[in-house]
Amino acid sequence: MRPEILNPLFAETLALDGVGPKIAKALGKLKLERCVDLAFHLPTGTIERVATDRLGLDLVGRRIVITLTPIDLREGRGRAPIRIFAADAHDNMVGLTFFNNPGWARKQFPLGEKVRITGKLDAYGDELQIVHPDKVDEDPPLSEPVYPLSDGLTNRRLRDLVRQVLERAPDLPEWIESSVKSERGFSDWRGALAAAHRGPNEEVARARLAYDEIFANQLTLLLVRQSARRRSTRPLEGDGRLSGKLKLPFELTNAQARCVGEIRGDMAQERPMLRLLQGDVGSGKTLVALLAMLEAVEAGAQAAMLAPTEILARQHYEGLRKLAEPIGVHVAILTGRDKGRVRESTLMGLADGSIQILVGTHAIFQQAVTYHDLGLVVVDEQHRFGVSQRLMLSEKGKRPPHLLAMTATPIPRTLTLTQYGEMDVSRIDELPPGRQPIDTLVVSEEKLADVVAGLGRHIDGGGQAYWVCPLVEESDKSDAAAAEERAEVLKVRFPGKVGLVHGRMKGEEKDAVMERFARGDLAVLVATTVIEVGVDVPNATLMIIEGAERFGLSQLHQLRGRVGRGTGKSRCLLLRGNNLSETGRARLALMRETNDGFRIAEEDLRLRGPGEILGTRQSGDHVFKLAEAEDIAALAPAAQADAQLLLDRDGGLEGPRGQAARTCLYLFERDAAVGLLKGG
């Protein structure tokens, strides 16, 4: 159970003074539903003010707090602004300018009466001016933090709510090792939290909070690993009778063979395998996974492959079935779409063991799904599944199954440490023979007509193409609406040859369009990023990505990887807008220069942060709320060493520092990690 000391932080925001249903709704838009959410909602800037009694040119451009006496009022005609001329204590004049509601301005600033105001002092020609000053009854703080806001919230209101939360925040026991705390100049947790809310310049305080979050993450991963190592499972050793019959399209690369050996070595142990298989787009991860699953089947166990989307699940099913069924291995599929007799038949086959390999979405781990002897779980596109889902998998077999996670998103070393610290890592770092580099061009959206004409020539030559549309951020359109709009335009130009898939379509509709595209009935597939992973059409050799500057580098690399899967020369056109920043230019230039996914991933981490790369902001798994990309790179190794020291030297979660560390885990909602320990 959560320690009582944290209860004030985990109370709902409705417990705070001034929060009723209306303010609670505004807070909810920012996902600020509990006091702890407000505690971790740090300011992004500050407003600096100067208190003075004398106006002067030296203060132009700064926000001031001053007492003035209005002495003259001038109203313009029509929509012209109202100007109230006011004097300071030394008879220096300033114009207070209001562009609307002149009646309110006259009432707030009556002539001849002193008024205390705050606002930004500007120069308007030879005159000093303050546009829309605020009248104040008491002086505002000279340094005021500025928070991200939503409709219905003011910075002043949010600042007051944060003040209440900081007053509620308890003094927490120290979980950081004393030498680490001293070396980095960290204060206690409560002091750091208060300092961090003063503004972004409180770098040491913010680093302390980021360290705490990374430490909780690292400790969680180490506890997951420790728990797995304590448990025993069935060693799985195949005899090669199935894998030896496989008719492969090409020989394994050295990297694939190395990874297969590492996986087989893990599966032969009595402790469950926890291994991450990294490989760039097209490196042949699925074949490595199939060999691992055949190893399990040869040993008399079942294997299951979990995919993040229905499209990917069905594609894996077709690919695995074509290779495995000719050698006598029964492969089945189970998704949320499967109902009635088909579903019942699959469930019976799993329970009696006649289905040896199952492919599916999350449906394969529902409570009603019972396996005869589940020995291996393969999780594809691992970045969509976090620690909590990985913990869930261990509950499905008679004994914990071996786990092989895969990702086609190359992951920088620091993210491997923070997201997969409990796992061993295998990397396929070479491409199979026949995979060609993809020519990448950056094209201005002004040349859209030329791109469409080039698409026509590509189609006339028998080629197929993808056209990917982004979310249109500056409007209310969704990415689905943008894709629908582009598809309609292209259908006029290429009647009967254009298909459309997006996330709002039903699974059956998406599958039907994808099948037509795979068969060659359609020449162009207009899509959102729903095709980012798993779509494999060798004849599709042209990828057009519209609004390319709106995508992250790793996402662009994944999309580009949808082509280059056959023998034909492949191209990727990155259509960019005109308002491109220097950073945007550099990012697209990198895409043009290299097909190396690992180099791209390192740059993407630097530019966008870990949550976007790993997809966790969409998956619902834990996202770092406080730690930024640079924090992770700088602090993760030290936090991991600190967490390891806690387990090895300081008695784990049972010693004095361990009790404090439990509080840290609960604070950052890594509750499942505490539950891994008996009596936790």
**CA–CA dist 98, 402 (Å, integer):** 69
**CA–CA dist 609, 617 (Å, integer):** 11
**CA–CA dist 592, 560 (Å, integer):** 11
For residue 400, give the nearest of 233, 264, 274, 270 by alpha carbon: 233
For residue 322, give the nearest of 568, 465, 536 by alpha carbon: 536
Instruction: Tell me, letter by letter, the H, E, C secondary structure of 5-28.
Output: HHCCCCCEHHHCCCCCHHHHHHHH
| CB contact burial 328-365 (16+ within 10 A = b; e otherwise) | ebbbbbbbebbeeeebeebbebbeeeebbbbbbbebbb
Is residue 244 packed enough to be buried (19+ CB in 10 Å), middle (13-18) or exposed (0-12)?
A: exposed
Q: Would you place residue 476 in the very low, low, confident or very high pLDDT band (cuts 50, 70, 90)?
A: very low
pLDDT of residue 473: 45
Task: Report the pLDDT averaged over residues 125-135.
Answer: 92
Q: At 54, list the tokens.
A: 């004398």
**CA–CA dist 277, 523 (Å, integer):** 34
| Contact between 318 and 333 (Cβ < 8 Å) | no
Tens of pLDDT, residue by residue over 500-522, are 988 788 877 888 898 899 899 99
pLDDT of residue 126: 86
Q: What is the assigned CATH class of domain 243-428? A: alpha beta
Is it the case that residue 680 has pLDDT exceeding 60? Answer: no
The residue ranges of every structural domain in the chain are: 1-44+153-170, 47-135, 172-231+632-680, 243-428, 439-594
Share of the chain above pLDDT 70, in %: 89
**CA–CA dist 96, 106 (Å, integer):** 11
Q: Which residue did the predictor score with more confidence, 529 or 646? A: 646
Q: What is the pTM for the complete model shown? A: 0.66
Please report the sign of the dihedral spanned by the C-alpha atoms of residue 506, residue 512, residue 513, residue 514. positive
Q: At 137, list the tokens.
A: 């009854």
What mean pLDDT is reported for the chain? 87
pLDDT of residue 594: 86
Range list of H helices, 9-100: 21-29, 35-39
| Contact between 610 and 420 (Cβ < 8 Å) | no
Do the domains 243-428 and 47-135 match in fold?
no
Tens of pLDDT, residue by residue over 395-431, are 666 788 998 988 876 666 556 656 666 678 898 888 7
For residue 594, give the nearest of 634, 633, 554, 627 by alpha carbon: 554
Considering the domain delimited by 47-135, tell me its CATH architecture. Beta Barrel (2.40)
86 forms beta bridges with 70, 94
> Torsion-angle region of residue 275: left (phi > 0), alpha (psi -120 to 50) or beta?
beta
Is it the case that residue 475 has pLDDT exceeding 70? Answer: no
Is it the case that residue 354 has pLDDT exceeding 80? Answer: yes
Sheet with 402-407, strands from edge to edge, namely 331-334, 357-360, 302-306, 374-379, 402-407, 274-279, 424-428
Output helix, strand, coil percentages for the chain, rounded to the nearest 5: 45, 20, 40
Neighbours of 409 (CB within 10 A): 26
Considering the domain delimited by 439-594, tell me its CATH architecture. 3-Layer(aba) Sandwich (3.40)
Q: Would you place residue 679 in the very low, low, confident or very high pLDDT band (cuts 50, 70, 90)?
A: very low
pLDDT of residue 667: 96
| CB contact burial 252-288 (16+ within 10 A = b; e otherwise) | bbebbebbbebbbebbeeeebbbbbbbbbbbbbbbbb
143 forms beta bridges with 48
| Contact between 507 and 535 (Cβ < 8 Å) | no
- In the three-class reduction of DSSP (H, G, I as helix; E, B as strand; rest coil), residue 623 is classed as coil
Q: Residue 361: which residues within 8 A CB-CB, separation 6 or more? A: 306, 307, 308, 309, 310, 313, 335, 336
Q: Residue 95: which residues within 8 A CB-CB, separation 6 or more? A: 83, 84, 85, 86, 124, 127, 128, 129, 130
Which region among 156-165, 168-177, 302-311 has the lowest average model confidence (pLDDT)? 302-311
| CB contact burial 503-512 (16+ within 10 A = b; e otherwise) | eebebeebbe
**CA–CA dist 42, 200 (Å, integer):** 8
Which region among 384-388, 414-418, 472-476, 636-640 has the lowest average model confidence (pLDDT)? 472-476
Tens of pLDDT, residue by residue over 43-99, are 999 999 999 999 999 999 999 999 999 999 998 777 788 999 999 999 999 999 998
Tens of pLDDT, residue by residue over 522-547, are 999 999 876 655 567 889 999 999 99
pLDDT of residue 616: 36
For residue 161, give the nearest of 18, 305, 312, 57 by alpha carbon: 18
**Type of residue found at 430:** E
Neighbours of 323 (CB within 10 A): 18
Q: Residue 423: which residues within 8 A CB-CB, separation 6 or more? A: 225, 274, 275, 276, 405
Neighbours of 101 (CB within 10 A): 11
Task: Report the pLDDT averaged over residues 247-271.
Answer: 92
- In the three-class reduction of DSSP (H, G, I as helix; E, B as strand; rest coil), residue 248 is classed as coil
Task: Report the pLDDT averaged over residues 588-609.
Answer: 77
Neighbours of 205 (CB within 10 A): 22
